[in-house]
Structure 1
Amino acid sequence: MCVNNIDFRRGDLFPNLVFLGACPGQEEENAVPQRPFAGRSGANLSILLQVLHDLENKGIFGLRASDFSTTNVDHYTLMNSHAAARWPARDGRSIPRMLEVQDPENIQRLTRQLRFVNARVIIGLGRPIDNRHLAQRRRDSAPMRAIRMLAESNANISFLVTGHPSPRAINRFAQGNAAQWFRTMLHRFP
């Protein structure tokens, strides 16, 4: 059975709508209670929720008109592509290695979590900066690699990808405009 922890939190109202990050970080490990997206990236998820709420023609993304009717992050399921927390000061990196993400035990963990919440939509938070790289495994982010591994056996799930909600990514690639970052990067996969 899946329980809320550092890498998984079942949504309170819409558990079948899932946000998939890379891995927990220092803020998630230090949170009480531990939970995914406890830090600054989690704060930016509210902006993404507003973008998804206001999205016109949701059908082209495989969404229903009623999807993302609230901007409360806890109403949705939060997961990570890999369960182990990583941060630069301790680990020298803040993301999992692709071999860790695609490890069969990790994919089984993700599959169990998705079945537990009866996932219908998964939004991967972190993808190649350039749309041309969506088809290239060597340019994957952790959520993109997990989605590639999961999409083959989950045809009933709509997979979307968008930019990572970290302040660093938003500042670097969207000049600090999180809403524009999410609108520009939102894409249906495959």
Structure 2
Amino acid sequence: MGYLLQGLFGERSLTKVAGLFAQQSQAETSMAQMLRIGGLQAGQVRLLGPQDARASRRDLFARSLEPEPRGIARTFFQTHIVVGAAGAVAGLALFAWFYNAGHPMIVSSPLLAFIALVGFGTTFGMLGGGLLSMRPDHVLLITKVRSALRHNHWAVVAHPTSAEQAARVKEVLQGHSAEVVSTL
């Protein structure tokens, strides 16, 4: 499943895991343990503090939570192409099914029916691709991290590249009694 998602999305790290802490020392300790035990590299883990929630540092905050802008652009195009093509194939399959069944509206004007069914299938597929490219699963994580930082808490945000890394990161964060929030 992970391989299929990696082909659909253009980012290396599909999952984001954040641990929310009341104190800076707890956050730093868990970050160090994540790098040691979790198998992550330094670029995959970010420490965010209350100062990062300020408006003047919005760009830094955005890069800390979504560090792959090129991957996001690739995700945008790949999801639209793949899911749009899947919608076109579904429209074509629906047309073939109706045509073989001898449905009167399809048999009477097959070209218009073909254009309509494949066109609507492609359109709905592209809409689905747009929904996937917005990454609705990231909204909850970003909202919780931003809220915690505004309430003078600390956050450790990890960008694991595999399911094993994500599981190890969650174990480390839960071991430090952090509130754990993750995507996908």
Normalising by structure 2, report the TM-score.
Answer: 0.24
- When Rg is computed on C-alpha atoms for both structures, the one with the higher figure is 2
Normalising by structure 1, report the TM-score.
Answer: 0.24
Q: Where is the helix percentage greater, Structure 1 or Structure 2?
A: 2
Q: Where is the strand percentage greater, Structure 1 or Structure 2?
A: 1
Question: Larger relative contact order (C-alpha < 8 A, sep ≥ 6)?
Answer: 2
